Structure 1
Amino acid sequence: MIAIFSDTHSTNGHELEGEALAAVREADVVVHAGDFTSEAALEAFQQEANQLLAVHGNADSAAVRDRLPEARVVEAGGIRFAVTHRRDGGEMGLAMFGRSRDADIVVSGHTHRPTVIESEDCLLLNPGSHADPRGNRPGFAVLEEPEPGESGDAHGKRDGRLEGEIREPSGTLVESFSVESN
């Protein structure tokens, strides 16, 4: 399982609870699209996650910015993720960012609004904020390989396709989606 977060905005810790905390603990990889705000929040995520792959955001302290890149590419589950906090140009800027990195999915944050948008070249995913939704639904995302028999060839091979959900920390489903490798 891959768990995706953004916009924690905490000075004390990870602010994870319920299904969000369980997802971080159970995930093989946790991707975070920035704005931990503090080193305490970053370190708390690192302590809970098996593997944390993150970028810094515009509200991160200098200490967090020194430890994390502005953008990165992550390969997991046969899918190529391009991760950034935000890009100028809105959806088009994010799609161009993904295209330039040959990504199947672009993970971003900044708006605190959970969204999934299918662009011509890749899927655009903003998991929202689990801890500071700012008037939006709180959110995080999980992606998993489909169950055997749901997709794949005659031999059961399922490489390059993930089923995803944006959920609230309570576990309430916000939106379902899927992504396939290009």
Structure 2
Amino acid sequence: MLVVVSDTHSREESKLQGRTAEAVREAELVVHVGDFYREPVLDAFESASRALRGVYGNNDDAMIRERLPEVRTVEYAGVRFAVTHRHRSGDTGLVMLGRGRDADAVICGHTHRPRFDDSTGLPILNPGSHAEPRGNRPAHAELEPASGAGDESEQADSNPDAGLDGRLVTPAGEVFEEFRIRP
């Protein structure tokens, strides 16, 4: 499982609770999309996860910026992601970033609003914030290789090239949106 979190905004701890904490511990790979805030928070995520790939956000301190890139490419189960905290040109800039990195989707943060949008020409995933939702639903994203269960068309998707089934999940464990990303 790939877990995506963002916008922790903490000085000392990961603020992981409930399903979000479980998912981070269980995941093969965790992507943090920036705004840890202070370096001890990055350290806490590294301790809590098996493998962490992060980028820095606009509120991250100099120590985090020395350790993490602003943009990176991450691959999981045959799907390639362009990862950045934000892009000043909005969705258009995110799509252009993703295409420039030959990505299948873009992961971003910054807005604290969880969303999946595949209407932009390249899917965009924002996990929201598990710790500082700022009036939005607190959330993280969980992605797993597509299951292929169901009708014949979905069974055809059971091969490794089928993509990832994803969901936006609250720390309480409520799944409030499901989606698929195809390579």
Common fold by TM > 0.5 = yes
Match of 1:96 in 2: 96
Aligned residues: 180
Letter paired with 1:109: G
Superposed displacement of residue 101, structure 1: 0.8
Match of 2:5 in 1: 5
Superposed displacement of residue 89, structure 1: 1.2
Match of 1:68 in 2: 68
What does residue range 150-165 of structure 1 map to in structure 2 within 5 Å? 150=150, 151-153=154-156, 156-165=158-167
Superposed displacement of residue 146, structure 1: 2.4
Question: Which 4+ runs in 1 deviate beyond 3 A?
Answer: 148-154
Superposed displacement of residue 158, structure 1: 3.0
Q: Cα–Cα, structure 1 residues 136 and 120, in superposed 2: closer, same or farther, change >3 Å?
A: closer
Q: Distance in 1 between matches of 2:115 and 2:64?
A: 26
Superposed displacement of residue 148, structure 1: 4.8
* Gap runs ≥5 in structure 1: none
Letter paired with 1:37: Y
Q: CA RMSD in A?
A: 1.4
Q: Distance in 1 between matches of 2:67 and 2:58?
A: 14
Q: Is the 8 A contact 1:7 1:110 kept in 2?
A: yes
Q: Is the 8 A contact 1:104 1:121 kept in 2?
A: no
What does residue range 110-129 of structure 1 map to in structure 2 within 5 Å? 110-129=110-129
**TM-score of the superposed pair, with normalisation by structure 1:** 0.94
The answer to which structure has the higher helix fraction is 2
Match of 1:78 in 2: 78
Q: Is the 8 A contact 2:73 2:83 kept in 1?
A: yes
Q: Is the 8 A contact 2:148 2:156 kept in 1?
A: no
Match of 1:173 in 2: 175
**TM-score of the superposed pair, with normalisation by structure 2:** 0.94
Please list the CA deviations of residues 16-42 of structure 1 after superposition, one character each: whole Å capped at 9, or x if unmatched.
Answer: 010000000110000011000011110
Please list the CA deviations of residues 114-149 of structure 1 after superposition, one character each: whole Å capped at 9, or x if unmatched.
Answer: 011114432101000000011111110000012254
**1:159 aligned counterpart, secondary structure:** helix
Superposed displacement of residue 152, structure 1: 5.0
Please list the CA deviations of residues 60-87 of structure 1 after superposition, one character each: whole Å capped at 9, or x if unmatched.
Answer: 0101111000000001111001000000
